[in-house]
């Protein structure tokens, strides 16, 4: 059990191992870059717009500047923090994975797993708020805001997509490490 | 590498294996029950309240029935669906785990991992909407609704807590299976 490759000769075995190591490095670098860009993209997201507001029907409309900021929504703040943490751990595990064996592998799988949970929960949170921002919810009387802050909302969508790719990369890293543990004799 | 227990004798080894199997079964049954209760608790959640609404200052207030339902918020619907899927897969993997060896273990780890991602994203989504429902967001002009639908919101909170415990159970199941793969010679 756990030793499917008993019949392979040394060279083939070594090649396969190097292939797995290379794909692990690629996935980690990808996760690092994607979470970094996602965190920056949403962290620096801000849009200010001049909106005409009528106080009384007799007076002309006032031009009032209104702005959307990431710090206004706690789910977006959580998203930026989660992606920053995942970015830092991707860097740490990248260094560890290059040298790690045995018990280090098990620790790396646990860290990767935490990052999957962290990233998916933050994507869910930011995605749910973004969806209401885009469509509104008539039952709760929460009006959509993306018609006003279109640029802000586009940047949220882009950031969510990048972070989802990073979360999937972490998911594959757990599967990769698990299959490695499965294969090592 | 991967064979830390080479020095243990057969009896100790067998006892340890049985201990791991027992904790796996306990965790799976726990995950199954928790996701089931969480899905039912939020799926059947509904609250109707009579709210006095004033149309004109000269007329007396009308008593209007208003209601909160899970189906009104897409994040809550996603939460119920995610917990139902996780519940079904907990049952399937419970049956598989009792007999599974080798490659089946690796498949189980992948399923458990998907459930971690699914549950955490749904908890994030429902949690983010629940938080705005409870606190409101003045920047987006989304008013809190939990002052009106207190019972509904309490049930959402309870459901979220149960689902979070189930998600953590799945997390431990991945770690358990990974450590098992790590130990098998």
Over range B53-59, report the average pLDDT. Answer: 78
Residue A37 has pLDDT above 60, yes or no: yes
Residue, of A68 and B38, whose pLDDT is higher: B38
Chain B: closest CA distance from residue A45 (Å)? 15
Please report the DSSP string for A103-163 in residue order.
HHHHHHHHHHHHHHHHHHHHHHHHHHHHHHHHH-BTTTTB---TTT-HHHHHHHHHHHHHH
Instruction: List pLDDT tens digits, range B134-181.
Output: 999 998 889 999 998 999 999 999 999 999 999 999 999 999 888 877
Residue B6 has pLDDT above 60, yes or no: no
- Would the CB atoms of A178 and B175 count as touching at under 8 Å? no
How far is Cα A161 from Cα B113, in angstroms, rounded to an integer? 20
Q: What is the pLDDT of residue A5?
A: 46
Instruction: List pLDDT tens digits, range A137-162.
Output: 998 889 999 998 999 999 999 999 99
Q: What is the pLDDT of residue A105?
A: 83
Residue A7 has pLDDT above 70, yes or no: no
SS3 B49: strand
Q: What is the pLDDT of residue B172?
A: 94
Neighbours of B181 (CB within 10 A): 25
- Would the CB atoms of A1 and B184 count as touching at under 8 Å? yes
Q: What is the pLDDT of residue A183?
A: 65
Neighbours of B22 (CB within 10 A): 10
Q: What angle do CA B90, B91, B93 make, to 5 degrees?
A: 65
Over range A7-11, report the average pLDDT. Answer: 63
Could you give the angle at which helices A150-183 and B150-183 cross, rounded to 10 degrees?
30
Looking at chain A, how many residues does it have? 185
Mean pLDDT of chain B: 87
Chain A: closest CA distance from residue B60 (Å)? 24
Q: What is the pLDDT of residue B183?
A: 65
Q: Select the residue from B125, B148, B168, B185 to test the A interface by mutation, using most A Cβ atoms within 10 A.
A: B125
Nearest CB to A2 within list B68, B179, B184: B184
- Would the CB atoms of A121 and B116 count as touching at under 8 Å? no
Instruction: List pLDDT tens digits, range A123-136.
Output: 999 999 999 999 99
By the 10 Å C-beta count (0-12 exposed, 13-18 middle, 19+ buried), A37 is classed as middle
- pLDDT band per the 50, 70, 90 thresholds, residue A184: low
Contact in structure between B159 and B118 (CB atoms under 8 Å): no
């Amino acid at each position: 059990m756990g030793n499917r490759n008993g019949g392979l000769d040394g060279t083939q075995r070594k090649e396969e191992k190097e292939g797995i190591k290379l794909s692990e490095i690629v996935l980690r670098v990808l996760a690092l870059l994607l979470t970094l860009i996602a965190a920056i993209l949403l962290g620096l997201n801000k849009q200010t717009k001049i909106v005409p507001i009528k106080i009384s029907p007799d007076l002309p409309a006032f031009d009032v500047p209104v702005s959307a900021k990431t710090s206004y929504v706690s789910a977006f703040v959580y998203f930026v923090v989660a992606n920053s943490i995942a970015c830092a751990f991707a860097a740490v595990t990248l260094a560890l994975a290059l040298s790690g064996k045995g018990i280090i592998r098990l620790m790396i799988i646990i860290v990767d797993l935490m990052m999957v949970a962290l990233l998916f929960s933050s994507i869910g949170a930011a995605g749910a708020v973004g969806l209401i921002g885009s469509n509104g919810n008539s039952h709760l009387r929460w009006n959509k805001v993306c018609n006003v802050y279109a640029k802000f909302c586009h940047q949220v969508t882009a950031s969510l997509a990048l972070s989802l790719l990073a979360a999937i990369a972490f998911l594959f890293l757990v599967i990769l490490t698990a299959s490695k543990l499965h294969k090592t004799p």
